[in-house]
Amino acid sequence: MNELQIAQQMEIVGGGVGTWIVCVVVGAAVYKMLFSRSGRVSIPKLISIEWR
């Protein structure tokens, strides 16, 4: 059997760098929505949320 490289092990566990970046961005958006009275979160051509 071949041993897995560290990057492959992280993908199996779910700890890839891309996953962490997405989690940080989503967390920042949720934090902004919870603690501000009005604002807008948008990702062009995918999603746009505005609240007051």
3-state secondary structure of 36: coil
* C-alpha separations of 21 from 3, 26, 28, 40 in Å: 27, 9, 11, 20
- Give the N- to C-terminal CA distance of the chain in Å, as an integer: 57
Which residues are CB-contacts of 2 (< 8 A; sequence separation ≥ 6)? none
The pTM of the whole model exceeds 0.75: no
Q: Provide block-wise average pLDDT over 10 residues at a time, the chain (52 residues).
A: 75 71 84 83 80 78
Tokens of 23: 């989690």
